[in-house]
Amino acid sequence: MTDEPVRSVLYDVQAEQGAVFEDYDGWVWTLNLGDALGEYEALRSDVVMWDVYGLVKWDVRGPDAIAAVQRVFTNAIGALEPGQVRYGAIVDAAGALVDDGTVFRHEGGHLWVMTNGTTFADHLTELTSGMDVTVENRLHEMPLISVQGPRSREVLQGLTDLDLAALPYFRFAPEPVEVAGIRAHVLHTGFSGELGFELITARDDAPALWTALGAAGVRPIGFEAVEIARVEAGLIIHEQDYLPGEQTPYDVGLDRLVKLEADFAGREALRAIAAAPPNRFVTLTLDGDELPELGADVLAGGAVVGCLTSPVESPRFGRIGLARVRRDAASDGGEVDVAVGEGTVRATVAHDCAYDPGKLRVRG
């Protein structure tokens, strides 16, 4: 007998709205609500909401909380102020990626860490022996609704007294405020390449908040629309763009988030490759009429030089994909081949992501 897949607290309200779901590795994700391309266009031009229940939220506390999280996190967090957020890689003692995620600083020795996988607590415990720190998985107590799109600030501002214009990108309100009459933490974060905010509320209040956002004109969307947007924006996904234990942050374009002055395990291993990482993470614009499959070989001169990790059909950019490519084959503007069916298609390499490479839109 197998365990039942994990369903979001927002499953029922989305089912009533016509959502299509898929069980992926024991988690039920919303694929779409009947019109994935329309949902994508709303994300790029209006305001949408996405259920991110499956994001794993860890509550980390104790006198050594900051030092302990720093031991596994490549970005520097020692100088974070309360209300500040930092994104980075979670690595092992060899410098290999375990996960990627965000660290949220509260007052004193209190952090939230949000990850994709469920191994963070075990990993932290292994590398912080003797430190005074506790970590608790709060996934089910902290449902998260991501409100994204160019009108996200405008629409949310009509539902809260918190001055959203005064909340910079990668900041959050440490204390909950009222949003549509419901207490919620407001985070200026997201995973779309657009201006956006994320809301965390009590489990029992999440369906009412979802409904209130919908009544204010926020359109619900599913993962298929988000997938197009995040590939356009060059954003990575755990166990797709990298496999835990097999790649380093440099293999997936996280170079600037590796702060070698920070005290994390694996620092010296990463220092040894920082000057000349063997692989680059690039965007490929693909020729041909068929989209290659996830994991397709990338070739140069007939030899395999990389892997296509995230292919999509983009309404704005055509067939594109994210890829890990060997450094000597990853020149900006260069050409490679990508396996498809029994043959290959030509592809052009770009070091920048396809959509808003300057990341101006997320800052509004």
pLDDT digits (tens, 9 = 90+) for 79-114: 999 999 999 999 999 999 999 999 999 999 999 999
* Cα dihedral: 280, 281, 287, 291 (round 10): 130
How many angstroms from the chain centroid is the CA of residue 83?
Answer: 19
| First-residue to last-residue Cα distance in the chain | 49
* Structure letter (DSSP) for residue 154: H
Paired with 336 in beta bridges are: 347
Low-confidence stretches of the chain (pLDDT beneath 50): 1
Which pair of structure tokens corresponds to residue 269?
């291993």
Element (H, E) at 98: strand 97-105
Residue 182, exposed/middle/buried by CB under 10 A (0-12, 13-18, 19+)? buried
* Structure letter (DSSP) for residue 140: G
The confidence score (pLDDT) of residue 1 equals 40
Measure the CA–CA gap between 173 and 84, rounded to whole angstroms: 9
The confidence score (pLDDT) of residue 2 equals 54
Which pair of structure tokens corresponds to residue 305?
């030089």
Element (H, E) at 198: strand 196-201
